[in-house]
Structure 1
Amino acid sequence: MMKFIIGILFLIPVSFTSYWLVCSFLFILCFLFMIFVNVDWFFCHITYCLGCDLLSYLMMILSFWICALMILASTKLLKLNFYYKLFSFVVLTLLLSLLITFYSLNMFLFYLFFEISLIPTLLLIVGWGYQPERLEAGLYLLFYTLLFSLPMMLVIFNCFMKGTLDYYSMNFQLNFYFFICMNMVFFVKIPLFFLHLWLPKAHVEAPVSGSMILAGVMLKLGGYGLMRFLKFFLLNGAFFSMLLVLISLFGGVVVSLICLRQSDMKSLVAYSSVAHMGLVLSGLMTFSIWGFNGALILMLGHGLCSSGLFCLVNFCYERSNTRSFYLNKGQINLIPSLSLWWFMFSSCNMAAPPSLNLLGEICIINSVMFYSSLSMVFLMLLSFFSASYSLYLYAFSQHGHAGAGGYCFSSGFLREYLLMLLHWIPLNLLILKSDFLFN
């Protein structure tokens, strides 16, 4: 397992010489990772404080894939000669910190690299963002995460006083107050409704690469942390879980209604991420195997789907220099082949078959309905409004009369179609290997 970390370390100097070589090597490393790593639900290839199981394995593959696609999506930096070498360096640093976070068996190592991964993300938003408000968005992201991560550090110190920070050696249960302190940073990261205000602001101000990594991997850090550490709260967390399920489902419905009022395409996709991750959190809080499996599958599906939607919004922005629905109408007349990808990803966003989102939502809906039949109303509303805002996103951007500036649009480039295909293939074909996720 260390060979992949060392491979990325040796790839960092290459980032200052060749942009495309970094992109190619990341794809090669991703395929090697799939070939050489044989995982089960149990930890394998354990060193002193690093190891890998199915959960961390899937998150690491997602990190490799999204980081490679980020470099492929940001070729405008190469054309404009806008600090593209530094950009490659920041992406590789971010990937390295994410891999060690997912590898960690030691709680302090996990916490350390969990926080380190925030720094390259902040640099992406502040350094390559579009508007001057990106500084405010970066501060929102920084202070939300840092403020709520301090209680987690206190819990880690308390666990150290009890004897160990090794994940598998810790067999004690922590009380209700520790449940709040430990998991608050993960609730911010997912994000839980009421703690989500940093996310739309960060997405809207971030460049396409920043939005891709935020939606694709950074939100999944919250879900991953909850999956890892909920075993310490099986007794005390169950008393609090009903409230969290209610907040996440109610928040998902409210955010879905907010999506229907958006005039900015990127803002709509950002708010839809909050709604989907609310569904993930409700599945996790049922403390059932169906909920855990559904949450894992939906996290993978959402990471690929929302990343693809942010790419599509960026294609419009690069041509028209605006993300407004009112100025990006009638694209089906201008770029019909790209309109097909809009339909494919909008349908995946509403959990149409055969996407991973469908499988994940079926598992989560099953687990939440068994947990509480009263949640059926919220689940119905969430599914309905999810389809509504996905249809709204597609219909308003593709139909209608194109503006006068639309006729100078360039047609789709090969790089853009390749980028969409590399998002769509794993999103829709991984369902054929769903038995791998239920072992």
Structure 2
Amino acid sequence: MAFQCQRDCYMQEFTTSVVSCSEAELQLENNGKKNKIKGYNVKLKDTILFPEGGGQPDDRGTIGGVPVLRVSRQVAEAVHFVTSPLEEGQEVQLKVDWERRFDHMQQHSGQHLVTALADTMFGYKTTSWELGRQRSSIELDTPAVKPGEMEALEAAVNQKIRDHVPVTVQLLSIDDPAVEKVRSRGLPDDHAGPIRIIDIEGVDANMCCGTHVSNLSHLQAIKILGTEKGKKNKTNLIFLAGNRVLKYAERSYSTEKSLVALLKTGPEEHVEAVDKLQKTVKRLQKSNLTLLRDMAVLIAQNFKSNPERSNIFSLHNKDGDNEFMNIIANEIGFENTIIFLTVGEEKGAGMFLLAGPTPIIDGLSKQVLELLQGKGAGKNGRLQGKAGSLAKRAEVEALIREHCSQARSG
């Protein structure tokens, strides 16, 4: 069976009735965290909300004003997940999130067009594709493309768009001889009903369950951003279609204006200006490292030359690194001195070094790591590693002094 969304991809509202409503759970991912939501699986007599399939994500919308969070396919039926129950037999009004749907239609039809012409022009077969949130990719069965081919392909697909080529849908029985003549990567195992063919007039006929534009002119434009090395000697072609091209141009222009203000140069000079900045930064970083090393030596020498120096040396330096700490520890020596050094944000994450007589360091290590939320390793009187937080640095210093005081009194 073809859903109403497949019979008329441009329909944005539709009235139908509820066939069934059962309790269910849905696992949603938000910022990398997976959460289970309790709700209801609703089956309708028909639907304009497309269930995921053919490389196209599912639609969003509402049923009787209730938001639909997922639409999935179960054999020949569409299952809508909602958080409020609906009564069986109830007549309901469906509304589709048109901005999302039309974007998917543009990307999906754009993929068919790019795939067809990549094959016709260069013999590159499509093995898979992905409709991403910001950009889409087509996996081509070739380890590499030749210079100029993507530019030629982009020109060809946009000419087809300017030619206002019609896109039609055919429904064929599975035993129809015409099925053998259309492009396909095979039918899903749970396929039922007629075969749906998307026909771009004079360009391509392809089996597909997805939603598509009715004319290539509705794609507006296609921009091929480039290619990337894919898996198993494949090449990924990255593209945008329709409104995504406009949004990409808007974002690029906004970025360009910001760079003009920051770099005080015109767009054509941005690359050169950034290159100069990077080289300057590298020189400054190199000079800074040299100064840090010299400073570490001077800090250690200053401590050693103090006749009234303590047997504990503690220092925090925001801009230091592991080498900075190691120079100080090695210059001072820790056979008779306990050295506690930290670098990084004063109350944030950072690095630490604790060195001194082995028995003392062994006795302090566990508590120091706990206070610094740290992970470290060491031997022969040296413990070094990363600190999750330096907020309790003063407590570590107090712990060291207390431990030394108890050792002397003992």
TM > 0.5? no
TM category (shorter chain) comes to under 0.3
Q: Which has the higher helix share?
A: 1
Higher relative contact order (CA 8 A, sep 6+): 1
- TM-score, length of structure 2 as denominator length: 0.22
Which structure dedicates a bigger proportion of its chain to strand? 2
TM-score (norm 1): 0.21
**Higher CA-based Rg:** 2
